[in-house]
Amino acid sequence: MRISITFIALLVNFLAPALSLTSDGVVLLSFKYAVLADPLGVLDSWNYDDASPCLWTGVSCKSGRVTSLVLPNSQLSGPVSPHLSLIQTLQEIDLSGNYFKGPLPLSILNASNLQKLSLADNSVSGEVPALIGMLPSLKLLNLSGNSLTGKLPGGFKYVEVLDISSNSLTGSVPVNFGGEELQLLDLSKNKFSGSIPPQFAASIPGNATINLAFNTLTGEIPQTLSFLNQKSEAFAGNAGLCGKPLAVPCSIPSTLSIPPELNSSSPAIAAIPRIISSDPAESGDDDGRSRRLQPMAIAGIVVGDVAGLGLLAIVIFFVHQMKNKKENNSAKPTSDPPPAATKKAPETHQITIVDNLSPSPDHRHRHSAFSLFPCLPLRPEPDTSDCTSSDADLHHPPPSPIARTGVLVTLSDDAVIEMETLLKASAYVLGASGSSIVYKAVTQGGAAFAVRRIGDGCVKKMKEFEAQVRGVAKLRHPNLVRTLGFYWGQDEKLVIYELAAHGSLASALTSMLQAFFLH
């Protein structure tokens, strides 16, 4: 190619004077003879007999030198002549809409004054010359509608209009694209793939028009000013693209998708740390990527942690209940066991109460199953007679009366509790917690209450005690029994509740845990 160009140059220098045709005309005749078909005869006026090519079809001159060659849609066919770059004053070449084929000659890089080059809608093949964007005078490059392949070069520092659409360029868009002077960039209808690097449009002005439609680009569109100013049509036809200006948001990785790399993070996902081994064989896979925890493994870890915490809570609760039961058993005074009986009557505690209302003498010696005196120790009396199923067998000889004064306060409007009714009630021990004992009190009319007797650690002032009881009475919940009233005495503090017919939740859980660990 270099020898051919050199030969043409020598031919121009030696033959042009003899033929009286300018050197620019000789170069254009070499272009004419390279054309294989001219069905419209647009080159018929090009002859050696002319002194100047300035009157030829498609040729423009300035000061006797050729400055442009414009022959669009002339149905010319053949290779692109490599000799046109010998015309140093040539500023424009427009051969669009013809049938030129073959590669774009590298000699075009010698056209230092070339400003416009349009070979659109031909059959030009091969790759785009790597340094074509470095031509200092080139402002417009239109190679659209051809069969160009390979990658798009970078370094388009001076070009203002670049249209390489409708070709077969592949690979990713270049990082060092340049584009400082760009006004229009059209790379649509190619085969570009991969993500768009942020550096690609870093130098492109914000008011430039960009078209990357109908490629196979993927990932998030860089949020640069030049991209944000485009319409969504500029990125259409790329199924893998997301983000503005498209209406397709980029999805946030979830726990069901592939976990992110260790050097990435997501605000919606908490990264699970792992220990990085010093052994290279353990720190990565064969392909160099970090190992990832599978979703099922993550779910197994979470379930195991929850189950372990639940088991630990059950053990702590069981130990606490056993400790309280042991303390309560050790606090009770030992007594001779009652004689064997066919049916053991419920354990009762009987203390005679003389209230401030001075009830009748027969009331003073009633057998009450609970005491209005929480600071007095309670000792169950052993049975002295055979036990039967009759309530009459629960009576014991009454202890000596102890005079106490106190106040009985009812907190519920629908539950009327009188001192006389409370004195006549029979009661059974339901349970104990610390210095507090809970009784089941059954009146002669069949009404049942739960009565909590407060121990020695009680408050000293009635107002404080009443405020606490009334505060508890205001609580409402399906799993909470109502507080019906309370009794305040100098040494006795009682709280009266509704009776839970089937016992408390703590008792049920304790029984289940005891059965589980014993069996």
Mean pLDDT of the chain: 75
d(CA 143, CA 168): 12
**Among 171-175, 292-296, 470-474, 495-499, whose mean pLDDT is lowest?**
292-296
Query: H-helix or E-strand containing 121?
Result: none
Is 490's pLDDT higher than 80? no
Residue 434, sorted as left (phi over 0), alpha (psi -120 to 50) or beta, turns out to be left
The DSSP bridge partners found for residue 100 are 78
Confidence band of 420 (pLDDT split at 50, 70, 90): low
d(CA 342, CA 352): 29
Q: Contact at 8 Å (CB) between 225 and 198?
A: no
Question: DSSP letter string over 200-238?
Answer: TTSSS-TT-EEE--SSEEEEEPP--HHHHTS-GGGGTT-
Question: DSSP letter string over 141-199?
Answer: EE--SSEE-SPPP--B-S-SEEE--SS--EEPPPTT-B-TT-SEEE--SSEEEEE--TT
Q: Contact at 8 Å (CB) between 60 and 68?
A: yes
Is 37's pLDDT higher than 70? yes
**Among 211-225, 394-408, 462-476, whose mean pLDDT is lowest?**
394-408
330, two tokens: 């050790």
Whether domain 22-242 has CATH 3.80.10.10: the reply is: yes
| SS3 readout for 320-339 | HHHHHHHHHHHHCCCCCCCC
Is 410's pLDDT higher than 60? yes
pLDDT tens string 90-117: 999 999 999 999 999 988 888 889 999 9
pLDDT at residue 504, as a whole number: 66
CB atoms within 10 A of CB 433: 14
Task: Give the sign of the dihedral formed by CA 293, CA 296, CA 297, CA 298.
Answer: positive
Q: Say if 22-242 and 407-517 have the same CATH topology.
A: no
Is 211's pLDDT higher than 90? yes
Q: Contact at 8 Å (CB) between 160 and 138?
A: no
d(CA 379, CA 400): 14
Q: How far apart are the first and last CA of the chain?
A: 99
pLDDT at residue 194, as a whole number: 94
Question: DSSP letter string over 397-465?
Answer: PPPPPEE--EEEEE--TT----HHHHHH-EEEEEEEETTEEEEEEE-TTS-EEEEEEP-TT--S-HHHH
Q: Contact at 8 Å (CB) between 124 and 132?
A: no
d(CA 352, CA 404): 10
Confidence band of 443 (pLDDT split at 50, 70, 90): confident
Residue ranges covered by each domain of the chain: 22-242, 407-517
**DSSP, res 37:** B
Q: Contact at 8 Å (CB) between 415 and 383?
A: no
* Single pTM value for the model: 0.48
d(CA 472, CA 486): 12
Amino acid (one-letter) located at 286: D
pLDDT at residue 317, as a whole number: 86
Is 128's pLDDT higher than 60? yes
Is 442's pLDDT higher than 60? yes
d(CA 429, CA 348): 7
281-304 per-residue burial string, b: 16 or more CB within 10 A, e: under 16: eeeeeeeeeeeeeeeeeeeeeeee
**Among 212-221, 229-238, 244-253, 495-504, whose mean pLDDT is lowest?**
495-504
d(CA 110, CA 367): 125
Q: What are phi and psi of 433, to 5 degrees?
A: -140, 110
pLDDT tens string 147-159: 999 999 998 989 9
% of the chain at pLDDT higher than 90: 37
d(CA 285, CA 129): 40
CATH architecture of 407-517: 2-Layer Sandwich (3.30)
